[in-house]
Amino acid sequence: MNYQKNIENQIMVIFGASGDLTYRKLIPAIFDLHENKLLPTHFAVLGVSRSDISDTEYRKKMKKGIKLFSHYKDASDSAIDVFLSKVFYLSMDTGDGKEYGILKEKLSEIDTEYKTEKNYIFYLSTPPHLYPKIPKYLYGQGLNLQRKGFRRIIIEKPFGHDLQSAQDLNKKLLEFFDDEQIYRIDHYLGKETVQNLMVTRFANGIYEPLWNRNYIQHVEVTAAESIGVEGRGGYYDEAGALRDMVQNHLMQLVALIAMEPPTKINAEAIKYEKMKVFQALHPLSEEDLKKNVIRGQYSDSKVRGEEIAGYRQEKSVDKESRTETFFAMKFFIDNWRWAGVPFYIRTGKRLPTRVSEIVIHFKPSPQQLFCTNEDNENQLILRIQPDEGILLKTGMKMPGNGYEVKSVNMDFHYTDLDNHYIPEAYERLILDCMAGDSTLFMDGPASEETWRFVQPILTYWENNKDAPLYGYPAGSWGPEKSDNLIEGENQKWRYPCKNLADDGIYCEL
């Protein structure tokens, strides 16, 4: 990695230390930073949660997580142990303010021993009901004060459940920490390919003249997942696809595609441009809510010969649940660049494959001179994952007599790069927070603005319990209705792989 930041010595405190996120993502990401020699000389992790276990037991568990989920899963035991010798554990009830004195003492102990200069980051990876409480209790112990060393707080998603709760949470946090101390995570922003959206757009002169309503017909954003709710049924049934993926991850992608060039690459300038996009989202009318918003829920099906349970059969999901596991929507952005250009977004669980991509559909040439097949459309496909890269589709003459045009691909894959270490999103974001760089984090007002945009959908569903919820077989591309969202206009979604539940229709490579 050729990327080095000036990072001060510090302690990372993880609340929710025995949770899944810590095990699968956070500790493996910090270990990757360690292996990439990006951690400061004096550094420690303090895991905090209720389970009554020792440092040794905690390290044993984290070692397992590192071996399963780290980039360097094949690292030797001794290399992992060197890292884990800096990982400590404290058992306490984080919901009880009276216990925070113990935390303060423990921090001070580690700080003295490891010379971490009273620089602390508090990472909240707990159930969301603790988000307002923990900052308050830290404040109660003066752990928010930056007189000696810095104090930062990272808040995991979900950031609120609707507009009101997001506003309340922002307000509460600001009672105890200053805005510049708060880092709201959206892990999509930590993805290498998501950051590359800005580079593609703003480091290349060729795209900018085309990047507007004059040349772009429509924009498509897909975040498809083949997995189901994976043991998170309790959380997901309360959230659904709109809250889980759209208000945050997909809206961030939309902002990066639609924003104006920032004056500089820094947190302030980028957040300012993204906010302008959110403010320009055309408010959804009652008609949009009925026509341009589609929700679906997967039913049981056979995928590659394997029986897949329907959503309502998943553990901790209400047997009559009306929570959406698929969401698609058409909307517009009211500004000079995008007026009249439809944006289509979709996301879902139990779709045929895992793929996140953005497709820029360009308008056809003004005159059709050649005999052409109907899928000869110029598309720029920005592949976020898993096959990270960029694909440009253009028409080419088929060799031989006449002028038959064929659509061909100009295709770049990150794997073609010599040194293609792609850091995990959490690795990048944790490092940035350690360095005090909030460029890739969400700010409070932007988060509220995206909630403001989706709130009418939540309210509509709340008030119209029988609003359509379409079924779709697990392994398919979602409800047929979502096809009509685009196909009504003689266009269609891109289908990057077969519809596994339905005999291979909808395939486009």
- Per the annotation, the verdict on 249 as an active-site residue is yes
State the nearest-atom distance from the C-beta of 24 to ligand BG6, in Å: 11
Beta strands 389-397 and 404-413 are antiparallel
Beta strands 371-372 and 404-413 are parallel
Q: Which of 71, 249, 361, 420 is catalytic?
A: 249
**By CB under 6 A, what part of segment 64-93 binds ligand BG6?**
none
Q: Answer yes or no: are the C-beta atoms of 294 and 464 closer than 8 Å.
A: no
CA angle, 289 then 291 then 292, to 5°: 75
**By CB under 6 A, what part of segment 278-297 binds ligand BG6?**
none
* CA 259 – CA 275 distance, rounded (Å): 9
SS3 category, 239: helix
Name the E strands within 31-99: 43-49, 87-91
Collect all residues with Cβ–Cβ distance below 8 Å to 342 and sequence separation of at least 6. 218, 219, 330, 331, 332, 489
Instruction: Indicate the DSSP class of residue 250.
Output: I
State the nearest-atom distance from the C-beta of 233 to ligand BG6, in Å: 11
State the nearest-atom distance from the C-beta of 501 to ligand BG6, in Å: 20
Nearer to ligand BG6, 162 or 404 (CB): 162
Point out the residue whose Cβ comes nearest to ligand BG6: 244
**By CB under 6 A, what part of segment 254-273 binds ligand BG6?**
none
State the nearest-atom distance from the C-beta of 253 to ligand BG6, in Å: 11
State the nearest-atom distance from the C-beta of 355 to ligand BG6, in Å: 9
Nearer to ligand BG6, 376 or 450 (CB): 450
Nearer to ligand BG6, 10 or 22 (CB): 22
**By CB under 6 A, what part of segment 332-391 binds ligand BG6?**
356
Nearer to ligand BG6, 279 or 321 (CB): 321
State the nearest-atom distance from the C-beta of 297 to ligand BG6, in Å: 15
Instruction: Please write down the long-range contacts of 21-27, taking CB distance under 8 Å and 24 or more positions apart.
Output: 21/125, 21/156, 22/47, 22/65, 22/125, 23/61, 23/62, 23/64, 23/65, 23/69, 24/65, 24/68, 24/69, 25/69, 25/424, 25/426, 26/123, 26/125, 26/426, 26/430, 27/62, 27/65, 27/66, 27/87
Identified binder of ligand BG6 from the candidate list 71, 86, 157, 383, rule CB under 6 A = 157
**By CB under 6 A, what part of segment 490-509 binds ligand BG6?**
none
CA angle, 218 then 221 then 225, to 5°: 150
State the nearest-atom distance from the C-beta of 123 to ligand BG6, in Å: 16
**By CB under 6 A, what part of segment 188-247 binds ligand BG6?**
225, 244
Does 184 engage in binding with ligand BG6 (CB under 6 A)? no
Q: Answer yes or no: are the C-beta atoms of 453 and 251 closer than 8 Å.
A: yes
Q: Answer yes or no: are the C-beta atoms of 49 and 18 closer than 8 Å.
A: yes
CA angle, 222 then 279 then 289, to 5°: 55
DSSP 77-91: HHHHHHHHTTEEEEE
Please count the residues of the chain: 509
Nearer to ligand BG6, 172 or 232 (CB): 232
Nearer to ligand BG6, 119 or 356 (CB): 356
Nearer to ligand BG6, 244 or 377 (CB): 244
From residue 393 to residue 412, what is the string marking binding to ligand BG6 with x (rule CB under 6 A)? --------------------
Catalytic residues: 249
Instruction: Please give the residue ranges that form the binding site for ligand BG6 (CB under 6 A).
Output: 157, 225, 244, 356
